[in-house]
Structure 1
Amino acid sequence: MPASSSTTSKPRSSGPSGLTRAYLFAYNTTNLLTWSFCVLYTISLLAPALPNKLHTIFPQTFTPYLLGTQSLAILEVLHSLTGLVRAPFLTTAMQVASRLLLVWGIMVPFGGQIVGGNTTQLGDYAYLGCVSAWGITEMIRYGFFAITLSGNQVPKFWTWLRYNTFYVLYPVGISSECALVYLSLGVAGDVSPLLYWGLIAVLAIYVPGSYILYTHMIAQRRKVLRGKQRAD
């Protein structure tokens, strides 16, 4: 699932210092650059691929670009576990696990079969939905933290993007993820009935889970912006 605005890594109120600050700045900057590359590279391939060659985008962008970039998120679980950031461990682990399920559990084994199929382009659009929703969200999020850790003030427009774009990007990301899981059911069933029913369970969890997280993000947005207004 796309990362929640309330559970992403945040510097402590007094701010990290020394090597910790330098490391977190490097981590966030690296993610900003790699996600920016993924999004821009995908966009550069989009026009030549329309309308009938969308299936060519997946093999050009997934390995190693999207796969490697998304896999870096495992470090966020370690950051939370070790106390480098204030993000709740359980929530962070669940959010990262949902993304890793998509890239390692769906796209790695089944991507070639469910993206670019002969009968439907749904898999192509679902993949592009994931890249765009994940990528834009993460560019904004990691950029926000990189600017903060650099000691500079985050521009107001970036703060607006940070707490408003999820209204659109979150539904796009969730629907795209669900579409990829759904499309993988057939090939997963050929591998193992247990895997098939496991993915059914994932879809059953996604629907109520996404609603709960989405409404929670809206509530947290109101709280954060209300706090900023008081501070101003």
Structure 2
Amino acid sequence: MSSGTNPKPRTGATSSKPSKPASPLTKLYLILYNGLSFSLWATCTLHGLSLLANGTPLPMIFNQVYPLLLITQSLALLEILHSLVGLVRAPVATTAMQVASRILLVWGIMYLFQGRIVGNVRTITATPQTGDYAFLGCLSAWGVTECIRYGFFVLQVSGVGVPAWWAWLRYNTFYVLYPLGISSECVMVVKALGPAAELSAAYWWFLVVVLGIYVPGSYILYTHMIAQRRKALKKT
């Protein structure tokens, strides 16, 4: 349940700013981490959208974008460590849950079932599947969200200052991006049920449980994001 953007716990009420006055080394690390994450997400997103604009078949978009997306999203595992050691103000449990849901998508579904529900690097077909559209939805929602979020943190931690329009994007774009991302994630999980059943009955049941959590969890998280948005805007 991680597709929403800005005001959720990992990206809104909490912050990538240090939980206490940062040392110059800590500050430099956070700037480099957020700057690298911003660059990687911007590359994935712009590359994918440019391929789409040029009429590239959806399976081929997956083939070309997914390898870098896998690395980019896996890098977010460091955010659990950041929260755990108190490097940033973010609840460990919430951060772990949100990062884990993305890791499930990129490793537990996209990686495992390439060619079954999304394009395959070995067997390229110009005929898109439902999973290819869902992948495009995930890429769009995740990419725009993370570019806004990591860019915000770079400006915030560096002390440059966040422009009002960027802050507006951070606290408003989730209204559109969260439904797009969460629905795309759910479609991918549903499409993975068939291949998962062939792989393992236990894995099929695991994905069923995940879907059961997505529905109520998405509503709770969405309303929480709205509440966090109000708090953040009230401070400004």
Find the aligned partners of 1:62 and 1:92 in 2 and give their Cα distance.
23
Specify which of 59, 84, 101 is matched with residue 104 of structure 2: 101
- 2:122 alignment partner in structure 1: none
How many residue pairs align between the two structures?
225
Q: 1:75 is matched by which residue type in structure 2?
A: L
**Contact 1:130 1:173 survives alignment (8 Å):** yes
- 2:3 alignment partner in structure 1: 2
Find the aligned partners of 1:102 and 1:156 in 2 and give their Cα distance.
33
- The answer to whether the aligner puts 1:203 opposite 2:207 as a matched pair is no
The structure that is helix-richer by fraction is: 1
Find the aligned partners of 2:19 and 2:90 in 1 and give their Cα distance.
13
- The answer to whether the aligner puts 1:194 opposite 2:212 as a matched pair is no
Find the aligned partners of 2:149 and 2:53 in 1 and give their Cα distance.
27
RMSD: 1.7
Q: 1:7 Cα shift?
A: 1.8
Specify which of 76, 81, 84 is matched with residue 81 of structure 1: 84
Q: What is the TM-score when the length of structure 1 is the normalising length? A: 0.92
Q: 1:55 to 1:6 in 2, by over 3 A?
A: closer
- 2:59 alignment partner in structure 1: 55
Quick one: higher RCO (CA 8 Å, sep 6+), 1 or 2?
Answer: 2
- 1:71 alignment partner in structure 2: 74
**Contact 1:10 1:145 survives alignment (8 Å):** yes
Where structure 1 has 5 or more consecutive residues not aligned to the other structure, the ranges are none
Q: 1:6 Cα shift?
A: 3.8
Specify which of 133, 148, 153 is matched with residue 125 of structure 1: 133
Query: What is the identity percentage for the equivalent residue pairs of Structure 1 and Structure 2?
Result: 59
Find the aligned partners of 2:114 and 2:91 in 1 and give their Cα distance.
31
Find the aligned partners of 1:175 and 1:55 in 2 and give their Cα distance.
19
Deviations 1:79-132 (A, max 9, x none): 000000010000000000000000010010113210148986321110000001
Q: Any idea what SS the aligned residue of 2:3 has? A: coil
Find the aligned partners of 1:209 and 1:151 in 2 and give their Cα distance.
35
Q: 1:87 to 1:13 in 2, by over 3 A?
A: closer
Q: 1:168 Cα shift?
A: 0.4
- The answer to whether the aligner puts 1:36 opposite 2:42 as a matched pair is yes
Q: 1:227 Cα shift?
A: 1.4
Q: Any idea what SS the aligned residue of 2:197 has? A: helix
**Contact 1:39 1:131 survives alignment (8 Å):** yes
Q: What does residue range 117-196 of structure 1 map to in structure 2 within 5 Å?
A: 121-196=129-204
**Contact 2:7 2:228 survives alignment (8 Å):** yes
Deviations 1:166-224 (A, max 9, x none): 01001100000000000011011011111111111100000000110000000000011
Find the aligned partners of 1:43 and 1:224 in 2 and give their Cα distance.
31
Q: 1:40 is matched by which residue type in structure 2?
A: L
**Contact 1:80 1:88 survives alignment (8 Å):** yes
Specify which of 13, 17, 23 is matched with residue 17 of structure 1: 23
Q: 1:110 is matched by which residue type in structure 2?
A: F
Find the aligned partners of 2:202 and 2:186 in 1 and give their Cα distance.
19
Deviations 1:21-62 (A, max 9, x none): 000000000000000000011012113335xx2111111110
Q: 1:7 is matched by which residue type in structure 2?
A: P
Where structure 2 has 5 or more consecutive residues not aligned to the other structure, the ranges are 120-124
**Contact 2:38 2:146 survives alignment (8 Å):** yes
Q: 1:13 Cα shift?
A: 7.1
